[in-house]
Amino acid sequence: MKKMNVLALAFVLMLVLAACNSSKETGGSTSAKNKAIEASIDSASYILVDSDEGATSEEKGLLKVDLKVKNVSKNSISLSDYDGVYLYEGDEQLSPKTGVNSRELGLESSASDKIGAGKQKNLTFVFEVKKDKKYKIGLQPKSSDYDEEIDEVTLTLDTKKYAKSYNKLQDPEKALQAYTEVLYLNKENVDYDKYVTADKTAVIEEQKKAFNEELKGAFSNSLTDKAKKDFFNMYKDVLKEKASVKTNVIANANNKAVVEVEYTTLDLSDLYSYVSQLKRAYTDETKDYDTQHSEEFAASKFKDIVNELETKEGSRPLRIFMVKEDGKWTVKSSDLYSDSLGKTFGSSYIR
């Protein structure tokens, strides 16, 4: 009987100790606390950044982790990319990626963040991780009271939970490919409705405006609105046949992306030359020196002109900035860092 009581008591003590250890939450959880801080993983997602550090393979990638950290001590504390934040893969201790900053993408790593007594702050750290692996994030803040040493707390980071964001890293690339082909080149692309949101009228009007500027330079007299519309449609028909694009996403974070576009398009810089040759040919043949008549003749041959235009490949990729709105991607054409797709596929603007 006494033996059974001893065993029962030992069992109860084991349960109590397990409960005490669990209440500290210093391991195996996405939240943890000690006498100085309360911390939790608020969110995480895979990102791409425009640098060598942003390389993503099938096995690994950069994971942006957003933490909520509350200082429950009486002194201010600090956490840094360089000290106090660690990633543990088994017995291996890794550091966060430093310098992963991008004004375009709204990325700002927490290089040195102080948290006042009783205050809470959201901190962001970027780690290079392997897919479908579990890690521990260790947090050991420094107190403004140098005599106070704060114990480390750990959070469990299961990268498998964020696989969906990894699988969506290439979505801006698919979106821009469809955006360019459908809106500028009059091609069909099944990805358009799935990935793209855009003001079609405004996008095409931008392209048409660039094209009309080229017409103005080639034809000295004003063309009718109908002629401009017809010429634009002829141009788009040939563009559909001869132009091409290839997209590549180089950065993606916080619902913002930078996509590069390699392209071939019609070279409209020769438009003036073709029109001038036809006008001279008309005058030489008819001895009619009325410039309006010679321009009308050249205009009547516009379909032939646009078919004879050569294609030209861009000397460098276009850099296009995109944003995600309501679950779909669109081009932010007003961004200062972006090249202009409308000019590229509507004028002689070929970089």
For residues 156 and 180, membership in a common domain is answered with no
For residues 189 and 156, membership in a common domain is answered with no
pLDDT confidence band for 14 (50 / 70 / 90): very low
Q: Decide if pLDDT at 196 tops 50.
A: yes
Among 51-60, 87-96, 111-120, 204-213, the minimum mean pLDDT is found in 51-60
Contact 341, 318 (CB under 8 A): yes
For residues 180 and 292, membership in a common domain is answered with yes
pLDDT confidence band for 3 (50 / 70 / 90): very low
Angstrom distance (rounded) from CA 247 to CA 259? 7
Long-range contacts of 228-237 (CB under 8 A, 24+ apart): 230/302, 231/299, 231/302, 231/306, 232/208, 234/302, 234/303, 234/306, 235/211, 235/266, 235/306, 236/185, 236/186, 237/186
Angstrom distance (rounded) from CA 266 to CA 250? 26
For residues 175 and 141, membership in a common domain is answered with no
For residues 190 and 335, membership in a common domain is answered with yes
Q: What is the pLDDT of residues 155-186, one digit of tens each?
A: 999 999 999 999 999 999 999 999 999 999 99
Among 8-17, 51-60, 208-217, the minimum mean pLDDT is found in 8-17
Domain boundary among 139, 166, 193: 166
Task: Give percent of the chain above pLDDT 70.
Answer: 87
Q: Decide if pLDDT at 266 tops 70.
A: yes
Average of pLDDT values for 305-321? 94
Q: Do the domain assignments include residue 21?
A: no
Long-range contacts of 164-168 (CB under 8 A, 24+ apart): 165/44, 165/45, 165/46, 166/46, 166/56, 166/61, 166/131
Confidence at residue 109, expressed as pLDDT on a 0 to 100 scale:
61
For residues 328 and 206, membership in a common domain is answered with yes
Q: What is the pLDDT of residues 22-76, one digit of tens each?
A: 333 334 578 999 999 999 999 999 999 876 554 566 688 999 999 999 999 999 9
Write down how long the chain is. 351
Q: Which helix (H) or strand (E) holds 280?
A: helix 271-286
Q: Decide if pLDDT at 220 tops 90.
A: no
Question: Residue 117: which domain range?
Answer: 28-166
Confidence at residue 338, expressed as pLDDT on a 0 to 100 scale:
67
For residues 205 and 292, membership in a common domain is answered with yes
Confidence at residue 75, expressed as pLDDT on a 0 to 100 scale:
94
Q: Do the domain assignments include residue 302?
A: yes
Confidence at residue 15, expressed as pLDDT on a 0 to 100 scale:
44
For residues 33 and 142, membership in a common domain is answered with yes
For residues 149 and 185, membership in a common domain is answered with no
Q: What share of the chain is helix, strand, coil (3-state, %, to 5)?
A: 35, 30, 35
Angstrom distance (rounded) from CA 192 to CA 174? 8
Contact 116, 65 (CB under 8 A): no
Confidence at residue 197, expressed as pLDDT on a 0 to 100 scale:
96
More confident residue, 90 or 339: 90
Task: Give this prediction's pTM.
Answer: 0.84
Task: Give percent of the chain above pLDDT 90.
Answer: 74
Q: Decide if pLDDT at 13 tops 50.
A: no
Number of domains in the chain: 2
Mean pLDDT, the chain, as a whole number?
87
Domain boundary among 166, 185, 210: 166
Contact 212, 235 (CB under 8 A): no
